[in-house]
Chains A and B, each alone.
Chain A
Amino acid sequence: MSNLESLKFFWPELILSATALIAILSDLIYERKDSHKVSFWAIGGLLLTFITIRLFGGSSINGLFMGTMALDPFSEFFKILIVLSTIIVMLMSFNSSELDGYRKGEYYTIMSIMAFGLVMMTSAIDVLMFYVAIEIVSIMSFFLAGYLKRNPNSNEASLKYVIYGAFSSGVMLYGLSILFGLTGETNFFAIKNAISQLGPDSNLALILSIVFILVGLGYKISAVPFHFWTPDVYEGSPTSITAYLSVAPKAAGFALIIRFFNIAFGSNSAMGSDEWSSLNSLPWPFLIALLSAATMTIGNLVAIQQQSVKRMLAYSSIAHAGYMMMAIPVMSQSGIYGLMIYLFMYMLMNLGAFFVVMYVQDKFDGENFDAFNGLGWKMPLLGISMTLFMVALTGLPPTSGFVGKFYIFAAVIEAGNQYYWLAFVGVINSVVSLYYYIKVVRHMYFEGERSDIVSLPESKLTTSLVLVLALPTFFLGWYFSPLVEWANNSLNFFLGI
């Protein structure tokens, strides 16, 4: 479809980019102490984006903008997830005392631009487009990670992020150039057609290019062995940004991995039927399965040793990336929609957990386990919510975390005995993770002084934000059929061009 005709399907993205521009312009009006008001513009723009995404929902068009973008329910699901998490993190940032003393106008502007990049990542079907989108996300996250510029940890986080980011996107570009050298195409569908014409003597080059591309994408979702930046960046960044980095780029990265590998390296029947396989029997599903097992095992084993809750959550987010990656190699519809459900649940519980950590960090000036001592008695609402988030992150039954894990494990088992080992590794890891999640609960209720003075969060925003994250985490564990149905309907995105 030509560029001009495509514009009318592009409203959400247009509004999102206008939001960023309006945010930076409105920053000129406000005094420094009022600079947080920029967020009203940013949140307003994001809400409008949310509405337009819903309005344009349901339609499926491949090949917008001369075949660089796709509009389909699959990307709609991820766009909604990304916009929602951006709004929640912006609201979280109101409460953050870390950010006091810095101008906040640019903070919200950069977040809007990052949200734009994430939205583009979910719907790109052209190699060039997806590279530009990834770069937007990476570069904006470098700034956000280093936003506390008087804090050496934050500087360190930003610098480490830059170095790892530059390296991994360089390696990814090399992989993409190999792919282009073999096929001469940049569009995913055209790449697939070209690959299916290639003989077996090109398999080595294809495998190397897949490995290199996985370096870049694995860095985005912090999969082992590209995870080394994660703990330091998560620890040094402002906690609100840590929460954001642990959810939104992961969601967009998974959307991109699913779309890219299933279109470009999947066989013709991909997504059209229940079963499909990899093109020219390239071993990428097995590679991702191996990475998945390594990711969750290393994430969990290192998380056990952490003293800081923020770092523990960083490693736990690596482990969660591992669980989610399990769903990709099975190459079935149930795997993909299991992953989507998991991501939605993960967004709620992980943002919630980081929100409580942020609150505790502000109030008690520490993020170690000891800072949580007695929290359950002092602040019952936060204590109960944090317990809920921890149980959900473990994946125990009465919460939404169980539903997400259940769908992923079911998909892996369903795929037949070739991936039983993966499911086994996943179950073992879930059990291991119970130890360090429950440690937080133990510190909140069984360590430190039990005080009878009960204090509630002083601001209504805090209370309502905790409830907004905690209630769905709980109730989606009981009543999840609308979400499952939504994810299931979002899957028909393989129309061909």
Chain B
Amino acid sequence: MADIVFWFVAFITVFSAGMVVTSKSLLYSAYSLLFTFLGVTGLYIFLWADFLAVVQVVVYIGGILVLIIFGIMLTNKITSVNISHSSMQKGVGAVVAIGFIASLGYMAISSPWLQAANTEPAETTASIGRLLLMDYLLPFEVASLLLLGALIGATTLSRKDEDG
């Protein structure tokens, strides 16, 4: 049963990711992205990563995707823009993609991955918090400077010209 659900989730993820790239309308791409994100959430649940799964929904679907859709809808005429796929190079692309998938797939099957001990599922939130505030405190704090810089830069670039 779990296998069937897994393959279903995996199929949805990959299929909708393909739709994101190939669909002719920007809006369809954005909506397909919704299913990709949902599928990834499912994969996280399969990995017992409860916190990541919730964050995936809250941040990616609730935040980023809504922002993208707003961006598309509020931008003039962008919904009717004809995205040309003239440079898609299907033949070469297919060869590269198949070669890539084959080598990655072979790698995934043949490599001796580190196996986590098969424990009962426990909640991960507490240990993530402990890691962030102890072992990885520095990257965590440095990320705040990154966000500050991103904010300053974004306001600088989007500010109206008269006062900037």
Contacts and interface: CB of A to CB of B under 8 A. Distances in A.
B23 to A, nearest CB: 19
B156 A132 contact: no
B150 A139 contact: yes
Contacts of A204: 103, 106-107, 110-111
Given A128-B139, A181-B113, A181-B114, A110 B107 contact: no
Interface in A25-77: 32, 65-69
B164 A66 contact: no
B17 to A, nearest CB: 13
Contacts of B142: 120, 129, 132-133, 136
A139 B153 contact: yes
A117 B90 CA distance: 40
B22 to A, nearest CB: 18
A182 B113 contact: yes
Contacts of B112: 182, 198-199, 201-202
A154 to B, nearest CB: 10
Given A68-B139, A143-B156, A110 B145 contact: no
Question: Interface residue tally of chain A, by bracket?
Answer: 35 or more
DSSP class of B's interface residues: helix, strand, loop or mixed? helix
Given A113-B145, A120-B142, A65 B111 contact: no
Nearest to A158: B157
Contacts of A102: 164
A106 B153 contact: yes
Contacts of A136: 142, 145-146, 149
A109 B153 CA distance: 9
Given A65-B137, A66-B137, A140-B153, A182 B161 contact: no
B97 to A, nearest CB: 14
Given A113-B145, A202-B112, A208 B104 contact: yes
Given A149-B161, A199-B112, 7 more contacts: A66-B134, A68-B136, A140-B149, A183-B114, A202-B111, A204-B111, A208-B104
Interface of A: 3, 17, 20, 24, 32, 65-69, 102-103, 106, 109-110, 113-114, 116-117, 120, 126, 128-129, 131-133, 135-136, 139-140, 142-143, 146-147, 149-150, 158, 178, 181-184, 198-199, 201-202, 204-205, 208
23 contacts: A3-B137, A20-B145, A20-B148, A24-B152, A65-B138, A68-B139, A69-B138, A106-B152, A110-B149, A126-B139, A131-B139, A132-B139, A136-B145, A136-B149, A140-B153, A143-B149, A147-B156, A149-B157, A178-B107, A182-B114, A202-B111, A202-B112, A205-B111
